[in-house]
Amino acid sequence: MKGMKEIRESLSPEVNALIEDMVDVDMYDEIEKPAHYNAGTIETIDYIVDVLGPYDAIQYCHGNVLKYTGSRLWNKGDPISNCKKSIWYLKKMIELMEKTEGVNW
């Protein structure tokens, strides 16, 4: 699957200009704030933390670190983006661990 950057590079300047007029392209970032995780009023990770609780959401983040650094790293998508996504989940995991330290473990 192509990333947004690759798709935009394949479009004509006219089409890219139309997109920029219609959408705030700087609002989303493929790693930090993907558009497909921000369709509603709450970002997906915030919903997951709300439903699972901060402690159990650590395991969710850990699973995503493993996903993005495992076989997917070289076999699906861009390896550099996969590493960056892994780092994002690792940072979120650390944030949640700091929040739950002394409470759950």
Q: Are 48 and 57 in contact (CB under 8 A)?
A: yes
Domain ranges of the chain: 1-30, 40-105
99/58 Cα distance (integer angstroms): 10
- For the chain, what is the mean pLDDT? 84
Question: What percentage of the chain has pLDDT greater than the value 90?
Answer: 51
State the pTM of this model. 0.66
Band (10; pLDDT cuts 50, 70, 90) = confident
> Is pLDDT of 2 > 70?
no
What is the pLDDT at residue 23?
60
Query: How far, in Å, are 4, 12, 25, 28, 40 from residue 19 at the CA level?
Result: 12, 11, 8, 14, 20
**pLDDT tens digits, 44-84:** 899 999 999 999 999 999 999 999 999 889 998 899 999 99
